[in-house]
Amino acid sequence: MREVGPFAVEHERIPVQGDKAIIMGMSHRENGVSRAPFQHLNMGFHVGDDGQDVIVNRQKFAEWLHIPLETWIGAEQVHGNHVVNVGAEDVGRGARSIETAIQGTDGMYTNHTGILLTACFADCVPLYFYHKDDTIVGLAHAGWRGTTSEIAGQIINGFNSKLGIHPKDIHAVIGPSIQSCCYEVDDRVISAVQAIDGLSPERVYQSNQAGKYQMSLQALNRMILEKYGVPSEQIRVSKVCTSCHTDLLYSHRKENGHTGRMLSYIGIVGGE
């Protein structure tokens, strides 16, 4: 794992049509102003941190990205599978407070330039979606509940039904998150995995000596993406485990729930 700047552990810029580009990535926990246990670059309003400190952190990050905070959009994130198609009328929602975020939502997509889709993470899986030719992007928050309710498929369906994009033309990235080495789950989670239609769920978990299971949310999301028609060669998967790297990343599980949140982001911007 490597830093790509003073505020990000992953950051990518993909040139697309005309003078546009797609940017996406994830912040880390360094170089912010939040105090313990949220030190330092906490991006989440909902974890008990001082709200003004979170705004300062977000403003510092916005300046580094050269994308104004006022153009960010964030959702409430309720561990569901509801997704929305956002546009200019949604700009600024969730950027400076949780109260203004899009309620009851864990995924967003847009074809508008100058909007940054954002979501907060500390172990759950960030799912990034993009289409180069028509310049469309999406972002989803996928914990085990969102994953097993197939939020990835809801984004793909939105690309297809609302924007006319066929799944075979979608690219997806599964970002840094807790990996199977650290992700122990019980029968309740495994039952939800087994209830997903059209998959071979036994490929994503194995029993451990504690009578529970080590599970890969990354492998499960990849299977769901393929089930909905995204070609395997157009899916990239990060090997970074948030729980293994609390020196640089937040981990809700490793830090017993008392920690901050990274910010995952994707947007369409003007080209250089």
Specify the CATH architecture of the domain 8-177+237-270.
4-Layer Sandwich (3.60)
Whether omega before 68 lies within 30 degrees of 0, making that bond cis, reads no
3-state helix, strand, coil in the chain (%, to 5): 25, 25, 50
The structural domains of the chain, with segments of one domain joined by +, span 8-177+237-270
pTM of the model: 0.96
pLDDT of residue 272: 52
User: pLDDT tens-digit profile of 179-229?
Assistant: 999 999 999 999 999 999 999 888 999 999 999 999 999 999 999 999 999
The answer on pLDDT for 130 being more than 70 is yes
SS3 265: strand
